[in-house]
Structure 1
């Protein structure tokens, strides 16, 4: 439900033992966030209150049980309070079923709010897959949780950071299985999802680069047949359908070109093929301090009936509770959710 032409954005706390609550609070300390949207945190209000106390910042928590109760005032953070964390058992940096269950509950609730139209878009904080699974929720990650609860069969992960916009044919599977999933129809599916995603993000460069799977894109069958048997036919069919695509391009060339803006977006064949160049672009390591100096990048799930963006970094258990986590990725995820909400009635995700 939009108020004053600003979308209402639901933001999950992530794993309460992680940096998730901290980066959410830090993001909502920015007036610029309230200028572009009406943000609501979803999780346990006591977790966010504890973070505020630790950070010694002058903001208040407004616990609500309905979106209608939100105030959307700078300095007063609205929290859709689920009361789902056992504070006496919460330990920063610790994997636990309790924390996993709370994180999962926050995600499920934000999906429900979006599906019923009470909020316009969702943004997720980082979760720990082991904690989620120890709690009995057997999902590989956020993407799969969203697909399950929105009853979505065709979806894909899109990573966005500056010039790099990378969609994946497969994500959370073994490398051996990933090779088997490189099929013509799936590649065409993600090309369509990527095109719609680029339009939704307001991109004008709609040229799509498609990565090869094998070294040198197979080198005419010398290093595998998938590039010739599956990827090339997908490229030819995509061209016939009117998409501006190029490929299969050897990945070591494709991502170098993409980083300079040669493509509006690229199709990666598996998880690490897309994630490694993406994180080289957005993640900056401070060798002297032995910690990340900056973490940028947004994860968007395309194909869903609702909008979902996310930080594209993990729980960072090693620095949880220390007050040094950067909210950069969270701010970018919120901005992307706002941008997508402007186009959601024009393009089907």
Structure 2
């Protein structure tokens, strides 16, 4: 059989265990890595010894990974932290050995991982980059239910807004642009990517009257990259970049900071947004939501984003192939 996508279990006390069997509706071949004791009661699953082993129709393929014990929905247990981390590392090892097509990760609780295992990374993205050898990465959020699609890459991510101007250095912005350009070609099959770059300030600084970062730093960088042949628009006012006619003019937008990038995606396609890690030597996608402890175990988990993440991973793998 063709290698399946590897779906990591994420936080056992969150909605991840509920999402795994619901994701069978995606029509995507995947195998869930985790402890079957954490799955909802009555889940039809089949344990496999290798990710590509055959599975009876309608059954969730499970690559068993034992944890410290059962999980209680909505109540994270620090004893499970080591297992969550080990599952991610196992998935990376499998995909790098060619035994998995791509990785889709279900949500983790960074707080629980820090409390239970001293997890030293801000999140999935940074840990995956470390497992891949410390490669430079960027986070892309992409819609699957909006036309034209909205793909955004924040150049700075989880830092206070007051720190963004200093953090948005030429090197940081250039890396985000180059990673986006390469990913659009390799993973999305766009031969000549068009990238829009948002300004930092209102009205993209309005000629320096509302901030000089655009005129003094961002515009010269874009001119230099255009001279290399990159198709870049900007710096653009962020408030006019994301309506449908504007999105039709570019393939992805590189934004200055977290909310500038994520608000349009979550507004346009809250349930179908997908998180993609750019720059890794393997494909990684994830649903664009958290562990949802408040609804875990209550039968209210929405698999739309997980299904979208699996389908995007499949399509990205086809593009790379």
**Structures share a fold, TM > 0.5?**
yes
Report the Cα offset of residue 191 of structure 1.
1.7
Supply the distance in 2 between the matched residues of 1:208 and 1:229 (Cα, whole angstroms): 20
Report the Cα offset of residue 306 of structure 1.
0.9
Deviations 1:18-56 (A, max 9, x none): 11111121012x2722xxxx31101112112xx142xxx
From 82, 101, 120, the counterpart of 1:101: 82
1:308 corresponds to 2:284: yes
Supply the distance in 2 between the matched residues of 1:213 and 1:260 (Cα, whole angstroms): 19
> Contact 1:150/1:304 (CA < 8 Å) preserved in 2?
yes
Residue of structure 2 in register with 1:179 after alignment: 165
Residue of structure 2 in register with 1:77 after alignment: 60
RMSD (Å) for aligned C-alpha atoms: 2.0
Report the Cα offset of residue 204 of structure 1.
6.7
Residue of structure 2 in register with 1:195 after alignment: 181
More displaced stretch, 316-325 vs 94-103: 94-103
1:255 corresponds to 2:246: no
Matches within 5 A, 1:226-237: 226-237=213-224
Report the Cα offset of residue 281 of structure 1.
1.0
Residue of structure 1 in register with 2:9 after alignment: 13
> Contact 1:299/1:310 (CA < 8 Å) preserved in 2?
yes
Residue of structure 2 in register with 1:244 after alignment: 231
From 94, 109, 130, the counterpart of 1:148: 130
Residue of structure 2 in register with 1:60 after alignment: 44
Report the Cα offset of residue 177 of structure 1.
3.0
> Contact 1:258/1:265 (CA < 8 Å) preserved in 2?
no
Gaps (5+ residues) in structure 1?
54-58, 284-294
From 21, 30, 33, the counterpart of 1:42: 33
TM-score by length of 2: 0.91
Supply the distance in 1 between the matched residues of 2:59 and 2:202 (Cα, whole angstroms): 53
Report the Cα offset of residue 226 of structure 1.
1.8
Do the aligned partners of residues 266 and 260 (structure 1) sit closer, same or farther apart at CA in structure 2, a change above 3 Å counting? closer
Supply the distance in 2 between the matched residues of 1:329 and 1:205 (Cα, whole angstroms): 28
From 251, 274, 277, the counterpart of 1:298: 274
SS in structure 2 of the partner of residue 92 of structure 1: coil
Do the aligned partners of residues 31 and 180 (structure 1) sit closer, same or farther apart at CA in structure 2, a change above 3 Å counting? closer
Supply the distance in 2 between the matched residues of 1:73 and 1:201 (Cα, whole angstroms): 32
Report the Cα offset of residue 241 of structure 1.
1.3
> Contact 1:31/1:74 (CA < 8 Å) preserved in 2?
no
Equivalent residue pairs, number = 315
1:157 corresponds to 2:139: yes
> Contact 1:282/1:297 (CA < 8 Å) preserved in 2?
yes
> Contact 1:63/1:81 (CA < 8 Å) preserved in 2?
yes
